[in-house]
Amino acid sequence: MSVVLTELSERILTITINRPEKLNALSSEVLSALASSIDDARRNSEIGALILTGAGEKAFVAGADIGELSRLSPIEGRDHSRKGQALFAHLESLGKPVIAAINGFALGGGCELAMACTIRIASRSARFGQPEVNLGIVPGYGGTQRLARLVGEGRAMELCLTGDQITADEAWRIGLVNKVVEPSELLAAAREMAKKILSKGPVACRMTMEAVHQGLGMPLEQGLDLESNLFGLTAATSDMKEGMTAFLEKRKPVFKGC
């Protein structure tokens, strides 16, 4: 049985982490299979957007594989952390929108995986947390960095230092997720979001994601300069001309991604 399942429909690739008996924990096998699926999505021009979810009803991803983590030496621990960080950074910089459809527990590495996605939609039954301190370790896949950027230093400190779990509604209130829906509506809501983004200018969407991701690590002046350069690049595209013409002609644009 494959630990990662993929399904392509209407230019949307759905990636399902498939270890429900282990609450979809991120074993080395899962990380490798996930990396392969992301690489395939990057190369495949037929894929415009991704949805990432977990198998079963209990968990999106309940964390890393504790059995594997417990055997790591300090050097192996550092390397393991860097491997996960590199994978999540690869996902974040894919250039195609990735929507996390969070169907249950998103704890530890699962919360970190969700935060590396472009947009997060949660089932009302979902639960979030960075419980690593309960195991005597720190978040290792980017949790201390992305969480603070999403919800602010104070809330990130609280979640990382207490190891507490929060509900989907609380995650929405603090800005950790974009939307909360009923469990039965989750995948449909994720597909609706993906289709809405796919109807926009592909080059503009890609450059918008680049501006946000890169700009967060820059002083404001440099971020504004990056934005201006990307704005200028979009002005050279056929998509810009089509978008402007369609607006003036009061019709829907037909973008070609160039």
Active site residues: 112, 132
Q: What are phi and psi of 130, to 5 degrees?
A: -120, 85
Question: What separation in angstroms does the CA of 86 have from each of 31, 50, 67, 113?
Answer: 11, 18, 22, 11
Q: What are phi and psi of 125, to 5 degrees?
A: -90, 0
CA distance 129 to 106: 7
Tokens of 132: 């690593």
* SS3 track for 8-47: EECCEEEEEECCHHHCCCECHHHHHHHHHHHHHHHHCCCC
CA distance 128 to 151: 13
